[in-house]
Amino acid sequence: MIDYANNERPNVDGIKVGGHQASSASLVTVMTALWFKYLKAEDQVSVKPHASPILHAINYLLGNLDKDYLTKLRSFGGLQSYPSRTKDPGRIDFSTGSVGLGAAAPLFSGATRRYVDSHFGERPKSKFIALIGDAELDEGNIWEAVSDPATTNLGNVLWIVDFNRQSLDRVIPGVRIHQWRQQFEAAGWNVAEVKYGEKLKNAFKEPNSESFQKWLDQIPNEQYQSIFGLDPAAARNRFLEGAPQSVIDYFAAKSDSEVLEIVTDLGGHDFAALLEELVNCEKITDKPSVIFAYTVKGWGLPLAGNPRNHSASLSSNQIDEFRKELGLDLGTEWDRFNSKSISGQICELRKSELQLDNKVSNIECPIPERTDLQFKASNSTQEVFGRILTTLSRDPELVKYIVTTAPDVATSTNLGGFINRVGVYSPTEKRAWNVDPVLKWAEGPTGQHIELGISEMNLFMLLGALGLSDIHSHQKLIPVGAVYDPFVLRGLDSLVHGVYSGSRFIVAGTPSGVTLAPEGGAHQSSITASVGIELPGMVLIEPAFATALDWLLCDAISGVAKPTTKNERELVFYFRLSTRSILQEAFESVRAKVGDAALRNQVISGAYQLVDGRLALEVLGISSEFAPEVNLVSTGVVAPEVLAAAQALANIGIIANVFDVVSPSRIYHNWQSSLSSAIKDIKSIKNQNYLETLISNNAPIVSIHDASSHAMAWLGSALGVRQISLGVNVFGQSGTIPDLYKANLLDTDSIVKAATHVIGISRNKER
């Protein structure tokens, strides 16, 4: 498949197609043992990115992939370069690609299964398996995942490390197995090794072989790996370089080829050795297992063990040889096994054994459009977020599905009320040693909050897994996470992985922006809003007012409650919130005027008008006929400054309309999709986007957002008018809200000046 993609398929752009023959060959024995013998239909496997061709080949041999795809590796609409749950055909349990994340994903899916079993009754047993490259163990997220208390004692998890002791650039120096063993064992894992193939095992049974085994276990990787490119005589010498005399003596009676065959016979390419260890691990049910399978990168190919083999591929001559070696020719190379042969029969048997009956319990109960909460005259969005969740916890049908999680910030992000009502999840009942009159931290199997250590990477790994619980554990859940907004970036890789994998969840980033003033620059987020706007599948929601948040959160819950499908647009709902309490009056007066139904529609679409500048002038008895006009477009918690600026502008005879963009991403994507349909079909150019219908005047814009000024800087372009984008362009520092707003030009006075300035430059332009 890799050779065809690179050497036979027409290449239109001169770019090397790639594919990883050496990485694939390294894992081929392990994967054959798994799919053709060990796995059960309910097991879920995450495959090392660079072995995706093997996974597709297995799916083909099992009759689960059309032949057409075999010539479409890495082509548009064909087989993806790395396993993709959403884009590849057929069953792919986990998306992988960014090394380390695919390893951790099944661990969190195993934790999700444990949660589902505790709350909804036991599902059929599954193993959550990760096939990992050994260099992936250098990724920090692996160790964050392994050491989190939420992932301990997961007997349903198995990792198999493709222990070829090579990474991309090099042979991994030294012998690291001892360190890794200790790290896993310290985290409570069962560690196993499949090191010796049958020839090695037989050799160790021979007299005087003890020192040979000792030498094999301690020979530096670099020296051992260098044997593979050599002819048998040179390989023998290389292996014995530096070895004690007793090892040289042990091999004295053996031919060079025998020596080479024995010393390279690693357990990761020996079915019996692999299956024996898999069965051993099966007996361990109270902790995760990791098997280090000793393998050869490029096993069985001329590339074997070569330090530069990661991106190397076989030449045409070598492929011809390889084809012959396998008894194939150009006419038969794509054939499945003959159904009458033993191999063919095994394929048929395994196809039926691996057929998964994915019956899912979906969320059938109605989801309210809003809660019945009454809000105070002044509220912060963070506090309201907590109150909404607490209120929803009183709905006995809906609350069953809600599961919250936070990386050690549950109480400081207002999840306390929800936790008080539903408790904290622990697989076993735990005694509470402290009785806190405010927060009831009751831990047991019925709890619905999963508390994590501080790792934000783990937060998004867990949310990603909870959001795919219908796929991996037959039970749909509504996952809700909370994190300090700046640290969304700390978990960004796993957030991207979750959305890329098609997972659905809600996350609150709170508090956000420079508005958490005294906390200082290290805690003030600015570029997170851009992440929320730009990440495909993500909806950024940044409301200012309580009722809007209530509508938007209920709407997000119905979005998350939908069954998982491939290629959905809105998957993750990211609420960027604040602890700043603001008056609700302005919103409530629009609500009274427009009515709930119409206003809710606008809010869900992403923006609504908060102030009509003409009416404001009328109230003041000023004629609007020749008055200059400006649109103040506000996002989030800066609303009070924007409203005050609108009033100040009215006082000097300027029409200042205020629009509140509660979901910058919805507005942005709506504009973008109207543009792309216009580009694809010129006739649709007449279709207005939502923003143009909402803001139909041609006045210039000042946008105001406690986030990078870049995040909303596209508005003027969307409306074809001048814009000044006010936002945060430097790292923050401690101070009061007035200090920081002034420093970042988010204060009322700066907004007024920006408005008069933008009116001035637009007028000059007109002249």
Ligand X SMILES: Cc1ncc(C[n+]2csc(CCOP(=O)(O)OP(=O)(O)O)c2C)c(N)n1
Task: Pick one of 106, 133, 386, 700: the residue that binds Mg ion (CB under 5 A).
Answer: 133
Which C-beta is closer to Mg ion: that of 138 or that of 348? Answer: 138
Residue 164 interacts with Mg ion (CB under 5 A): yes or no: yes
Residue 562: closest CA among 553, 574, 570: 570
Please say whether the dihedral angle defined by the alpha carbons of residues 188, 194, 195 and 200, taken in this order, is positive or negative. positive
> Strand 629-635 relative to strand 655-661: parallel, antiparallel, unpaired?
parallel
Minimum distance from residue 102 beta carbon to ligand X (Å): 10
Count of residues binding Mg ion (CB under 5 A)? 5
Cβ–Cβ < 8 Å for 478, 560: yes
Which C-beta is closer to Mg ion: that of 142 or that of 514? Answer: 142
Which C-beta is closer to ligand X: that of 19 or that of 416? Answer: 19
**Binding window for Mg ion (CB under 5 A); candidates: 6-14, 73-81, 156-164, 412-420:** 156-164
- 449 is in the binding site of which of ligand X, Mg ion, none (Cβ under 5 to 8 A by kind)? none
Residue 451 has phi, psi (to 5 degrees) of -90, 135
Q: Which residues touch 133 (CB under 8 Å, ≥6 apart)?
A: 23, 48, 50, 99, 161, 162, 164, 167
- 50 is in the binding site of which of Mg ion, ligand X, none (Cβ under 5 to 8 A by kind)? ligand X
- 136 is in the binding site of which of Mg ion, ligand X, none (Cβ under 5 to 8 A by kind)? ligand X
Which C-beta is closer to Mg ion: that of 134 or that of 629? Answer: 134
CA 85/CA 450 separation, integer angstroms:
25
- 422 is in the binding site of which of ligand X, Mg ion, none (Cβ under 5 to 8 A by kind)? none
Which C-beta is closer to Mg ion: that of 164 or that of 414? Answer: 164
Minimum distance from residue 162 beta carbon to ligand X (Å): 5
DSSP label at residue 611: E
Which C-beta is closer to Mg ion: that of 264 or that of 744? Answer: 264
Minimum distance from residue 52 beta carbon to ligand X (Å): 12
Minimum distance from residue 265 beta carbon to ligand X (Å): 19
Minimum distance from residue 163 beta carbon to ligand X (Å): 9
Minimum distance from residue 166 beta carbon to ligand X (Å): 5
What does 90-147 look like in DSSP terms, one character per residue?
S-------STTHHHHHHHHHHHHHHHHHHHH-PPSP--EEEEEEGGGGGSHHHHHHHH
Task: Pick one of 80, 81, 118, 166: the residue that binds Mg ion (CB under 5 A).
Answer: 166
DSSP label at residue 320: H
CA 597/CA 591 separation, integer angstroms:
9
Residue 624 interacts with Mg ion (CB under 5 A): yes or no: no
Which C-beta is closer to Mg ion: that of 295 or that of 564? Answer: 295
Which C-beta is closer to ligand X: that of 495 or that of 516? Answer: 495
Q: By CB under 6 A, name the binding residues for ligand X.
A: 23, 26, 49-50, 98-99, 133-136, 162, 164, 166-168, 297, 310
CA 711/CA 732 separation, integer angstroms:
17
- 168 is in the binding site of which of ligand X, Mg ion, none (Cβ under 5 to 8 A by kind)? ligand X
**Binding window for Mg ion (CB under 5 A); candidates: 80-88, 125-133, 275-283, 560-568:** 125-133
Which C-beta is closer to ligand X: that of 99 or that of 517? Answer: 99
Minimum distance from residue 106 beta carbon to ligand X (Å): 16
Q: Count CB-CB contacts under 10 A for residue 150.
A: 24
- 23 is in the binding site of which of Mg ion, ligand X, none (Cβ under 5 to 8 A by kind)? ligand X
HSE-up of residue 325 (Cα within 13 Å, Cβ side): 9
Residue 660: closest CA among 618, 703, 629: 703
Please give the structure tokens belonging to residue 301. 């190919």
Task: Pick one of 3, 88, 93, 134: the residue that binds Mg ion (CB under 5 A).
Answer: 134
User: Which residue, judged by CB position, is nearest to ligand X in the bound state?
Assistant: 133
Which C-beta is closer to ligand X: that of 236 or that of 310? Answer: 310
- 98 is in the binding site of which of ligand X, Mg ion, none (Cβ under 5 to 8 A by kind)? ligand X
Three-class HEC string of 448-510? CEEEECCCHHHHHHHHHHHCCHHHHHCECCEEEEEECHHHHHHHHHHHHHHHHCCCCEEEEEC
CA 154/CA 643 separation, integer angstroms:
53
Residue 607 has phi, psi (to 5 degrees) of -160, 155
**Binding window for Mg ion (CB under 5 A); candidates: 160-168, 201-209, 262-270, 359-367:** 160-168
Query: Tokens 């949660």, residue?
Result: 115
Please give the structure tokens belonging to residue 151. 């992932």
The residues binding Mg ion (CB under 5 A) are 133-135, 164, 166
